[in-house]
Amino acid sequence: MDLTAEIEKNVGLALSEDIGLGDLTASLIPGEENATATVMSRENAVLCGTEWFEACFRQLDPETRIRWFISDGETVRNGQTLCEISGSARALLSGERTALNFLQLLSGVATHTRRYVEAVAGTGATIVDTRKTLPGLRLAQKYAVHCGGGTNHRLGLFDGILIKENHVIAAGGVESALRAAEKIALPGVFIQIEVETLDDLKIALNAGAKMVLLDNFDIDGLWEAVVLNTRLTNKGTVLEASGGITLENVRTVAKTGVDRISIGSLTKNVKAVDLSMRFSPA
């Protein structure tokens, strides 16, 4: 996926929000003044967001030069220097906060995702994100999930059909909802249905569901769901666990044999990574 246009849009809006009609404090610095700065990590993390970071400075000064010592998706250590920046002092000062906001946020998503991915390593389960993203930053956060080793669910309501509880009720039942979805799904659009009980799972499997979301099933319920899927479809249906997943229980969930585990907190409850940008002495 080419994110160039999305990055430019994200950064343009963020800079406009912060700078408005002009950075009053940066105007204290002569316009012809140049500067050099470095960015350092103050904790162990997974780096993500370098293109957003660069765009913040290049939209302000196209001549800004940035040299990275590490790439998106790589692990950084506490105290490690991430990059060196040189260019207009005013541009560096005006873009600093916005650039760090993107880098810290997206690195936070990637880092959080990596912890879940490592927690289920060897089980065969895949960690999946959701639509619980910050408004306007969905593609950025889903890119960060990818950098952390996770997998993206649908991007939005337009590229996949997820039949949830209220859709099922409105459609008249699990099978009716699936049949209605099959009639409107274009080629390449997946259909997934959410179930809350083993009885509804059985109906979905017998109706030919190819992807089922097991909503808030307890561990015993997940084990039973996997057994039922094996018996009825020979594991032909993808089962996804969701709801109440934490780092403490995710491996237990994965060991039940579900194929995917979707976690809203990957993009919703984000702790930004602690990064610092410091100017070098003149």
Catalytic sites, residue numbers: 97, 132, 164, 194, 215
User: Cα separation of 233 and 226, whole Å?
Assistant: 10
Rounded to the nearest 5 degrees, what angle is found at the Cα of 127, between the Cα atoms of 98 and 222?
Answer: 140
Six-digit token string for 11: 């950064």
Side by side, which strands form the sheet with 65-68? 65-68, 81-88, 34-41, 275-279
Contact at 8 Å (CB) between 82 and 47?
A: yes
C-alpha distances in angstroms, 161 versus 122, 167, 175, 188, 213?
Answer: 29, 11, 15, 11, 12
User: Cα separation of 136 and 158, whole Å?
Assistant: 16
Chain centroid to Cα 236, Å, comes to 27
Chain centroid to Cα 163, Å, comes to 22
DSSP string of 12-31, one letter each residue: HHHHHHHHTT--TTGGGS-T
User: Cα separation of 97 and 184, whole Å?
Assistant: 45
In the chain, the amino acid numbered 64 is: T
